[in-house]
DNA sequence: GCGACAG
DNA sequence: ATCTTGTCGC
């Protein structure tokens, strides 16, 4: 794939201030409304996608159906194994991975600067053209509304979605415990969420222009908690926290993830990428 | 200072 | 994320 916005590359050598400034630029460039090159109904799955451990993929993509890729990573000490699995018409059409060094530690809010480069390296190995990417982590559910799903989505100008297992920020509109499969509730921006880059701070004499953000309006929906699966009795499964990455609205994000789930907690693209990352990792240890 | 914090 | 045993349920 070609980088639509190479200037937004998540350089791990930037200072934290520069990283946050870049994220505000990413949020400015992000589109949190539907701009999909396909009909959302066209990605629906009827059953789990066959993993096919032998590595065989359906050949010759003689289809117009949208290609959805799942992105996930596994780690070996100071290296990241980034995996991408592409599905189309309910079948795997390509699987790639890359192994790259990691340069900075995980810092909440700055995940893209640790894992973004490695993920872009994996995208360089991909030969099919994706129509939608599902990332392991947040998109708009982020302090500056620029989580890794948004960051990579904007760089590639690719519709993207963030699927996280835990909530980074924001507040669920309703309690999320013990909900039935299919249930969802909005995640509302809280005081930790900045809405857009804002400046102007004029003082007598000096005019300081800061690159800060203003608090997001209360009630801003930055994503949803979505119960993709639930047990019938005792134990309870936690919901997924899904959010728009780029070129998808919050509500469509819920519909798409719902369509891409096939009986497991994680949507199929993510589940397959998860397994592929683990398989690839095993070859390096 | 305290708490919260994707992977 | 990663390290792991036990356990639930189809």
CA to C1' distance (Å), from A234 to C5: 21
Average pLDDT over residues A132-153: 98
Range with lowest mean pLDDT among A123-132, A213-222, A233-242:
A213-222
User: What span, in angstroms and rounded, lies between the C-alpha atoms of A26 and A246?
Assistant: 10
In chain A, residues 205 through 234 whose Cβ sits under 7 angstroms from any atom of nucleic acid strand B: none
Instruction: Provide the pLDDT for residue A215.
Output: 78
* A50 pLDDT higher than 80: no
- Domains identified in chain A and CATH numbers: 6-46+61-282 (3.30.2170.10)
Instruction: Provide the pLDDT for residue A220.
Output: 95
User: What span, in angstroms and rounded, lies between the C-alpha atoms of A185 and A180?
Assistant: 12
Average pLDDT over residues A78-90: 96
Residue pair A135/A160 in contact (Cβ under 8 Å)? The answer is yes
**What tens digit of pLDDT does each residue of A5-32 get?**
999 999 999 999 999 999 999 999 999 9
User: What span, in angstroms and rounded, lies between the C-alpha atoms of A190 and A195?
Assistant: 11
Instruction: Provide the pLDDT for residue A232.
Output: 81
* A128 pLDDT higher than 50: yes
Range A175-180 contact pairs with CB under 8 angstroms and sequence separation of 24 or more: A176/A225, A176/A227, A176/A238, A176/A239, A177/A236, A178/A236, A179/A227, A179/A230, A179/A239, A180/A227, A180/A230
Q: Which nucleotide across the nucleic acid strands is nearest to A165, CA versus C1'? A: B6
For the record, the structure tokens of A147 come out as 């989580």
CA to C1' distance (Å), from A153 to C3: 32
């Amino acid at each position: 794939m070609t980088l639509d916005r190479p200037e937004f590359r998540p350089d791990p050598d930037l200072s934290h201030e520069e990283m946050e400034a870049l994220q505000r630029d990413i949020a400015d460039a992000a589109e949190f409304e539907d701009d999909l090159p396909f009909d959302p109904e066209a990605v629906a799955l009827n059953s789990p996608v066959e993993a096919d451990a032998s590595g065989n993929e359906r050949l010759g993509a003689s289809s117009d159906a949208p290609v959805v890729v799942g992105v996930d990573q596994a780690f070996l000490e100071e290296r990241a194994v980034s995996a991408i699995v592409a599905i189309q018409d309910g079948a795997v059409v390509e699987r790639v991975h890359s192994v790259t060094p990691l340069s900075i530690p995980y810092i909440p809010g700055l995940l893209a600067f640790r894992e973004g480069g490695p993920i872009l390296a994996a995208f360089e190995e991909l030969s099919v053209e994706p129509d939608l990417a599902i990332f392991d982590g947040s998109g708009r559910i982020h302090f500056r509304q620029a989580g890794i799903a948004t960051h990579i989505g904007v760089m590639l100008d690719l519709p993207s979605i963030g699927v996280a297992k835990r909530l980074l920020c924001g507040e669920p509109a309703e309690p999320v415990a013990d909900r039935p499969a299919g249930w969802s509730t909005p995640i509302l921006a809280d005081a930790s969420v900045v809405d857009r880059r804002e400046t102007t701070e004029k003082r007598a004499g000096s005019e300081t222009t800061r690159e800060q953000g203003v608090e997001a309006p209360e009630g801003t929906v930055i994503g949803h908690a979505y119960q993709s699966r639930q047990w019938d009795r005792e134990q309870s499964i936690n919901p997924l926290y899904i959010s728009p990455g780029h070129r998808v609205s919050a509500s469509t994000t819920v519909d798409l993830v719902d369509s891409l789930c096939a009986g497991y907690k994680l949507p199929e693209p993510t589940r397959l990428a998860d397994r592929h990352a683990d398989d690839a990792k095993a070859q390096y240890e």
